[in-house]
A and B are shown apart, each in its own frame.
Chain A
Amino acid sequence: MRLIVRIAPKKSILDPQGEAISNSLKSLGFDQINSVRQGKIIEIDLNESDENRGMEIGKEMCNTLLVNKVIEDFSVTIE
């Protein structure tokens, strides 16, 4: 199965990269923008057929390495 891990800066954290992207997009004429946040997506090809177990492993990976919970939120989905 394929795990998709989405990681984003917490709402309470200033995201200067997202802000720079937002400013750049606005300068290109995308006036509709309220705000931009930049995160990352990690795709993991997992040798596991049980979805519950897959989710468990994904969350464990987030907790041990993929996510810094001081500053980031995450979600795991199966594709």
Chain B
Amino acid sequence: MRSGVVVFPGSNCDRDLETAISSQSFDTCQMLWHKETTLPNNLDILFIPGGFSFGDYLRCGAIAASSPIMKSILKFAQNGGYIVGICNGFQILTEAGLLEGTLLRNSKLNFICKQQSVVVTNNGSIITKNFSNGEILHLPIAHHDGNYFADDDTLNKIEGNGQVLFRYADNPNGSKNNIAGIMSENHRVIGLMPHPERAVNEVLGSSDGSKIFKSLFENI
């Protein structure tokens, strides 16, 4: 199993992600600088980490979404590669057009950093397959712009297709339909605001995140 983590200036969850990935039985986890124009061969899964890429200038994720590595990431997605974006990674994937909707400023304008109960809504994806629908996970959230928004037509479409993977048990940020994580229509591109890589050990307050990585790795 070969994985990669894309690193942008301002990424700050890349090392946590690498640690979480390495604790699973992944053979390699390569850190990929955003100026690369090609991806390693035979990559099974690509992670876009959280953080504040390019200082969140212009819009969260907008500048990262047009960085040099994105062309090969788009090609990787077209060829059916698995991509998981967490927090800023989710924002980058929406800005790149790989996931529908966008993430607006939190409805109460505050930065939220806390443990959050998240409900598994559809266990039909590699990231949720090890859970049952309705199962509650405890994962940290840490964002200023996590308020998921899509127009009504798009919302109806992603709901109808079962593309919503995670919902907040109590909506902290104003997200439409309590959405915390979604996947693309072909199930290959996944984005979520909560941070599973920050919840891989009980010492950190929860180890539910490691179940998420386990699910990814067992079901690819």
Contact = CB atoms under 8 A, between A and B. Distances in A.
Contact of B95 (A13, A16, A20, A68): A68
Contact of A70 (B102, B105, B106): B102
A64 interface: yes
Contact of A16 (B58, B59, B94, B107): B107
Contact of A17 (B59, B63, B109): B109
Interface in B63-91: 63, 66
B27 interface: no
Main SS of the interface on chain B? loop
Contacts of B150: 70
23 contacts: A12-B151, A13-B104, A14-B107, A14-B174, A16-B106, A16-B109, A16-B174, A17-B105, A17-B109, A64-B66, A65-B62, A65-B66, A66-B58, A68-B59, A68-B62, A68-B102, A70-B94, A70-B102, A70-B149, A70-B150, A70-B151, A71-B102, A71-B104
Interface of A: 12-14, 16-17, 20, 64-66, 68, 70-71
Interface of B: 58-59, 62-63, 66, 94-95, 101-102, 104-109, 149-151, 174
